[in-house]
Amino acid sequence: MEWPKVWVLFGTYKRTAAALATVESLGRYLKYPNLHFHVCDDGSGETDDGTGRNHVDVIKEAIAKFYPAVTAHVMDTPPGQFNTGGNVNVGIRYAREQGSDIHMLVFDDWALFRELDIRAPADLLDSDDRVGFVRLSYKVPGNNGLVADYNCPRCGGSHMWYRLIRKWSLSNPYGPSDSYVISTQPYIAHVRFFEAYGWHPEHVNPGLAETGLGRQYNDSPLGENGPWVLFDIGPGVVHAPWAHLVGRAHDYLAQCGA
């Protein structure tokens, strides 16, 4: 089966050195067979290094070294203001207009330091409409959930996930961690998540856009009937130091002369 197209939405504003380091890490470590890179710029204008270059052009040139067909949009956000959520929403809608319902959001200060293979999240989002959002950053202490096994048709084999859920009945020593079930640093999601719970809050700073999206999810009347939020644990056999090579059925067949 062909792998679904995933749009990598690169959210950026002005921080050119950090952005270039993040781009370099994506080129080195992000693994997926069907990507499209799209720069989402919140009105940067010139770079912050005093060279007078255009920030978006510099980022596009860096991405083009490993993905030549990079695209971009530029918001008209006035200097000193934020529209982080609106910037991302424009990128999501561009992706959908081009036939891609799945996107990965990476802001310009979240660099990879080891290989990240997103085949399993993309496969699951494409094949299982119960799932809407896969958290790729670290988990917050106290996040509660269920360990589950959801199969990915293209990946094959067992793959384990932590399905994040809202409130729980035990006393949580880490505080109201359900407020941070949603993390935008970074994630991969299907557009169905935003159609169900609402789009990124607009005309606010990055922190308020993130927590606002979390409130939309937590307060939704859909509850657990809406698209789920997952955290990728990995292949089911990876976390044990042994592999099950031959089962007891092998011995039984041998004894029967099979």
pLDDT of 244 reads 47
Report pLDDT for 241.
Answer: 52
Instruction: Please state, in angstroms and rounded to a whole number, the distance separating the CA atoms of residues 152 and 120.
Output: 6
- Name which CATH class applies to 6-255: alpha beta
Q: Quick check: bond before 186 cis, omega within 30?
A: yes
Locate the domains of the chain by residue range: 6-255
E strands, the chain, in order: 6-12, 30-31, 35-41, 71-74, 102-107, 116-117, 131-135, 144-149, 159-165, 187-190, 228-235
In tens digits, the chain (258 residues) has pLDDT values of 799 999 999 999 999 999 999 999 999 999 999 999 999 999 999 998 889 999 999 999 999 999 999 999 999 999 888 999 999 999 999 999 999 999 999 999 999 998 999 999 999 999 999 999 999 988 888 888 888 888 888 887 778 899 998 877 677 777 777 778 899 989 999 999 999 999 999 999 888 999 999 999 999 999 889 999 999 988 765 445 555 455 555 444 455 555
pLDDT of residue 247: 53
User: Which residue in 131, 129, 98, 104 sits closest to 119, CA to CA?
Assistant: 104
The pLDDT assigned to 252 comes to 45
Taking CA atoms, 77 is separated from 36, 43, 83, 204, in Å, by 25, 5, 7, 11
Q: pTM to 2 decimals?
A: 0.89
Residue 169 CB partners (closer than 8 Å, separation 6+): none
Cβ neighbours of residue 52 closer than 8 Å, sequence gap 6 or more: 46
Q: Which residues touch 176 (CB under 8 Å, ≥6 apart)?
A: none
**85: its two tokens:** 């959520």
Which structure tokens are listed for 256?
């029967």
